[in-house]
Amino acid sequence: QVQLVESGGGSVQAGGSLRLSCAASGYTYSWYCMGWFRQAPGKEREGVAAIFSGGGNTIYADSVKGRFTISRDNAKNTLYLQMNSLKPEDTAMYYCARSLSSSLSLWNVAPAYDYWGQGTQVTVSS
């Protein structure tokens, strides 16, 4: 079965950093574009960042651009999200997900992703 397992979440103060990881298994990881989403209480799930299968091209939400970096290690079947200069508004459950799109035209649309991890909680205090 396809499995995505996030880790690395936690509680930090504003201005701190966290690195999230997503371990993928059950499919040919390098063939797929991947994305990170987050969902805060009372809000809909939103796209944070996405990365092409080869890892050379990335897309970011305006709210995290310049602070977050998405990357992947295809040899390790692992997706990463480096989060720096964290703000209280970054507090959310963070999910990694798999997309079939090769262009990522729907990179920030949740229904365009077919498999999801269980999520890892990120809490940023002021």
pLDDT tens across 19-49, in order?
A: 999 999 999 999 899 999 999 999 999 999 9
| Between 64 and 53, the higher pLDDT residue | 64
Over residues 72-100, mean pLDDT? 96
Over residues 83-108, mean pLDDT? 93
Q: Indicate the length of the chain as a whole number.
A: 126
DSSP annotation of 66 reads T
Collapsed DSSP state (helix, strand, coil) of residue 51: strand
Phi then psi for residue 40, to 5 deg, are -95, 160
Over residues 36-63, mean pLDDT? 94
